[in-house]
Amino acid sequence: IVSHLSNVRPKVVICRHLGPAMPLLEDRKDIEVVLWPEDRSCERSWLLEQIKGAAGVLVFLSDRVNEELLEAAGPNLRVVSTMSVGYEHIDLPLMAQRKIRVGYTPDVLTEAVADICVMLALMAGRNDGAAYSLVKNGDWAKPKYAWSPFTFCGPQLSVTPSSPTRTVGFLGFGRIAQATLARLIPFGITHCLYTGSPSSRPDTARDAALQATHKLKALERVEADRLARESDILFVLTPGGAETYHLVDAAFLRKMKPMSVLVNTSRGSVVDSDALATALREKWIWGAGLDVVEGEPLISEDHPLVKEPQCVIVPHIGSATFQTRLDMATRAIKNLYGGLFGEEMPAELGK
């Protein structure tokens, strides 16, 4: 009986095609792969059906890993691997309770997301939303849009002789924030402020080293209030979830500088969309660059933020480069195998 059981290949459910990483799954003869066949997020009813008896599942941001899914899977499930660094969609306490290992994909996407942070800061500051639509709509030829001294001006990210200081702020100061800071140094950034999660201890040695490396006048961990008041460009780079829900709300936005730019590339739930739309409309801040929006992807053209000309929105593409997505898919598959066969996972949550 034992030898018969050991020949049973563990079943794994893959919630979406993994493009060029698929051979890593297809070439393995020791697992049974069940793959959602279409090029869109898998349907919940399909997942609940297919996961019955599975030992592992590879999920994406839109697949909720909760009690319902675990009940449908049954007792064989031993690993959940998400192709994301974020894990808002996974009920971690429940996973711990059921002793299900969870893999995720940090590190490999840090550089790509830091790139897009800078892109959004520039686009939002320099009115890219309105300026780009104007060209696309064929309006550039209209006399009122011909070059003029102050049309389409916005705050400059880089320092100038007449404006020689810039403060960059980070709500959350992990890997992506630090990679973003490094990219901004050539723009002449002079000060860096950040908030840490209440459960994390200040790392003064790291901060002193970063300040020296980047030749900053200051690099300080501060309270949210000071972060809001002093940042010229503020990046939201904190994980989502209950702890960070609407940290950027009307009260926070009210404190920001009228010429400041807010960039969110972490999770939509951290920023109150209605408050941000008001802040833009009433000019409490200059602009916003968003890769994530609460309630995505159900964001239509009448969404209050889509209607704001000073708001640049891209559809959650922060990690979308060929190199990074392949690295993420590869890591997610390796995490899956690690969990399936009781081996080390390249990136396991809680380890």
Residues marked active site are found at 316
Q: Are 280 and 254 in contact (CB under 8 A)?
A: no
> Of 16-24, 28-36, 40-48, 83-91, which part binds ligand DGY (CB under 6 A)?
83-91
**188 near ligand DGY (CB under 6 A):** no
Helix ranges, 74-127 (H): 92-98, 110-125
* Alpha carbon distance 105, 87 (integer Å): 10
Identity of the amino acid at 129 = G
Identity of the amino acid at 59 = V
Q: Which is nearer to ligand DGY, 50 or 84 (CB)?
A: 84
Provide the minimum distance between the beta carbon of 347 and ligand DGY in the complex, in angstroms, as a whole number.
Answer: 11
* Alpha carbon distance 27, 25 (integer Å): 6
* Alpha carbon distance 64, 308 (integer Å): 31
Q: How many residues does the chain have?
A: 351
Q: Which is nearer to ligand DGY, 127 or 269 (CB)?
A: 269
Q: Which is nearer to ligand DGY, 81 or 260 (CB)?
A: 81
DSSP, residue by residue, 217-228: SEEEE--HHHHH
Site string for ligand DGY, 280-319 (x = CB under 6 A): --------------------------------------xx
Evaluated on CA atoms 236, 232, 128, 174, the torsion sign reads negative
> Of 84-92, 147-155, 178-186, 296-304, which part binds ligand DGY (CB under 6 A)?
84-92
> Of 40-48, 79-87, 243-251, 297-305, which part binds ligand DGY (CB under 6 A)?
79-87
**239 near ligand DGY (CB under 6 A):** no
> Of 2-10, 80-88, 268-276, 282-290, which part binds ligand DGY (CB under 6 A)?
80-88
Q: Are 210 and 180 in contact (CB under 8 A)?
A: no
Q: Which is nearer to ligand DGY, 105 or 231 (CB)?
A: 105
**84 near ligand DGY (CB under 6 A):** yes
Provide the minimum distance between the beta carbon of 105 and ligand DGY in the complex, in angstroms, as a whole number.
Answer: 6
Helices (H) and strands (E) in the chain, counts: 13, 12
Identity of the amino acid at 181 = L
**86 near ligand DGY (CB under 6 A):** yes
Q: Which is nearer to ligand DGY, 59 or 228 (CB)?
A: 59
Q: Which is nearer to ligand DGY, 86 or 304 (CB)?
A: 86
Among residues 109, 114, 120, 234, which is the contact residue for ligand DGY, using CB under 6 A? 109
* Alpha carbon distance 331, 336 (integer Å): 8
Provide the minimum distance between the beta carbon of 110 and ligand DGY in the complex, in angstroms, as a whole number.
Answer: 10
Q: Are 259 and 218 in contact (CB under 8 A)?
A: no
Give the phi and the psi of residue 39 in degrees, each rounded to 5. Answer: -90, 65
E strand or H helix at 323, and its extent? Answer: helix 322-340
**90 near ligand DGY (CB under 6 A):** no
Residues of the shown chain interacting with ligand DGY in the complex, contacts defined by CB under 6 A: 84-86, 109, 318-319
